[in-house]
């Protein structure tokens, strides 16, 4: 295993990420970290986040496009994601892909990644009327 320097900057970045409620982007984290480490640069925050991902200390939220969002919570959970505002809500507890994972294991597969997310509209975006009412009526889970 490679030895990595655990700098204070890294520690602050990790702490802020774990405290943040909404899977922040590097830029959002930069704003939070700067309060404690005023001389830090966005590039440093970004590099540290990439290293933390490589280490497996944190992970990227899959499919967030060019605005990569980071997740400091490695426990098994899945996401509710709002299509309009990008809000990501963690849902802990049993996930239905678990069965898929177990089946894969039984068949000798190695799971590299697990993705389960529900993309929709958060309560705020529904009331602000960003989506057509007709679209909301198509809700299949009610």
Structure tokens at 111: 């799971």
H or E segment to which residue 82 belongs: strand 77-82
d(CA 62, CA 85) in angstroms, rounded, equals 16
Give the nearer residue to Zn ion in terms of CB position, either 48 or 72: 72
- For residues 19 and 140, give the distance between their C-alpha atoms in angstroms, rounded to a whole number: 33
- 33 touches 8 (CB < 8 A): no
| Shortest distance (Å) from residue 50 CB to Zn ion | 18
Applying CB under 5 A, which residues contact Zn ion? 71, 82, 84-85, 87, 90, 122, 125
By C-beta, is 54 or 124 nearer to Zn ion?
Answer: 124
Q: How far is the CB of 99 from Zn ion (least distance, A)?
A: 21
Q: Smaller CB distance to Zn ion: residue 55 or 73?
A: 73
Cβ burial 94-106 (10 Å sphere, 16+ → b, else e): eeeeeeeeeeeee
Cβ of residue 92: shortest distance to Zn ion, in angstroms? 9
Least distance to Zn ion, CB of residue 85, Å: 3
Looking at the Cβ atoms of 65 and 108, the one nearer to Zn ion is 65
């Amino acid at each position: 295993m490679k030895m990595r320097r655990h700098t204070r900057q890294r520690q602050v970045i990790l702490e802020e990420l774990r405290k943040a409620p909404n899977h922040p982007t590097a830029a959002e984290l930069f704003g939070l970290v700067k309060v404690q480490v005023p001389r830090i640069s966005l590039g440093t925050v970004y590099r540290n986040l990439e290293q933390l991902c490589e280490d497996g200390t944190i992970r990227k939220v899959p499919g967030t496009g060019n605005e990569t969002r980071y997740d400091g919570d490695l426990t098994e959970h899945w996401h509710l994601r709002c299509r309009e505002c990008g809000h990501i809500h963690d849902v802990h507890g049993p996930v239905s892909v678990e069965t898929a994972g177990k089946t894969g294991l039984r068949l000798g597969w190695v799971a590299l990644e697990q993705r389960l997310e529900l993309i929709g509209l958060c309560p705020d975006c529904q009331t602000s009327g960003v989506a057509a009412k007709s679209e909301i009526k198509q809700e299949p889970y009610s």
